[in-house]
Amino acid sequence: MLYSHPQISCSMTINCLVIDDEPYAVNLLEEYISQVPYLQLLHKCYNALEALNYLKQVRPDLIFLDINMPHLSGMQLATLLPADQPFIFTTAYSEFAVDSYEKNAIDYLLKPITFERFLMAINKVAKLSTTPAGQPITTPGAQKLFLKTGKAIVQLEYDDVLLVEGLKDYVVFHTKEAKHVVYKRMKDLEETLPANFSRVHLSYIVNRDHIRRIEDNHVHIGTERIPVSEKYREVFLSRINKGLL
């Protein structure tokens, strides 16, 4: 079936990953994608766990992510994605709309998805600057950040940060050598940190690479014993379990 739609231009191919446990929904998105010249279906996953395994190897330009899936929901999977990964939520439940934008989704498509509404979402994606997709993910060199602390600007490597502690409108970067206080909100900071950082508490973000052990709902990093709150426990432990022997 062919659709008539407004002309949308894009200078590059946008490779798409569809994640949905409903075959009908997957087929519909596949058909819509085929009608837009610069969209290319890269892969289809029928649950979030399958998608996590695929995403270890390939970086898509765009993900269509269903919210309601068994074992691991789309909302939970979204927290595991890199901060700069573009994705669009799809769901049959309108009550998730506010939460979807808090997860930095580009758009939110309510099922049954019309082609016109699909194009509106794609228009937003076409305006973004994306990186080439379908390539193996390589481990970058040590990433660095600059912190404005007091009158000084301090450079740190992300790998040296043990944890980040929130104190009202400030955050404290803990390293083995020092603590650096920066004027910034935890929520804003959380969205910019690399994927190996996890929120475990309203007041704490930890670098999982430095965890010595997890016991009695607490994370031990360096000399610190950090509580893991119920709100963040499930997503945090799901990341830990991926590397569990």
- Closest by Cα among 45, 52, 14 to 195: 52
Q: State the Cα–Cα distance between residues 132 and 142, nearest whole angstrom.
A: 22
Which structure tokens are listed for 53? 């395994």
Residue 166, in any domain of the structure: yes
Residue 2 above 60 pLDDT? no
Contact by Cβ (8 Å): 89, 109: yes
Residue 157, in any domain of the structure: yes
- Asked if 48 and 110 sit in the same domain, the reply is yes
Residue 100 above 90 pLDDT? no
Mean pLDDT, rounded, for 38-62: 92
* Omega before residue 140 within 30° of 0, cis: no
Which of these three, 98, 126, 154, is where a domain ends?
A: 126
Range(s) of the domain holding residue 32: 14-126
**CATH number for 24:** 3.40.50.2300
Q: What is the pLDDT of residues 155-211, one digit of tens each?
A: 888 899 999 999 888 889 999 989 988 888 888 888 778 888 999 999 999 999 999
Q: What is the pLDDT of residue 8?
A: 44
Q: State the Cα–Cα distance between residues 54 and 29, nearest whole angstrom.
A: 19
Q: State the Cα–Cα distance between residues 108 and 231, nearest whole angstrom.
A: 23
Give me the number of domains the chain comprises.
2
Name the pLDDT band for 139 (thresholds 50, 70, 90).
very low
Residue 70, in any domain of the structure: yes
**CATH number for 217:** 2.40.50.1020
For the chain, what is the mean pLDDT?
Answer: 82
- Asked if 158 and 229 sit in the same domain, the reply is yes
Query: 231: which residues sit within 8 A by CB, 6+ positions away?
Result: 202
- Asked if 173 and 104 sit in the same domain, the reply is no
Residue 138 above 50 pLDDT? no
Which structure tokens are listed for 223? 């000399």
Contact by Cβ (8 Å): 108, 101: yes
Q: What is the pLDDT of residues 7-31, one digit of tens each?
A: 344 556 889 999 999 999 999 999 9
Residue 128 above 80 pLDDT? no
Residue 5, in any domain of the structure: no
Residue 62 above 90 pLDDT? yes
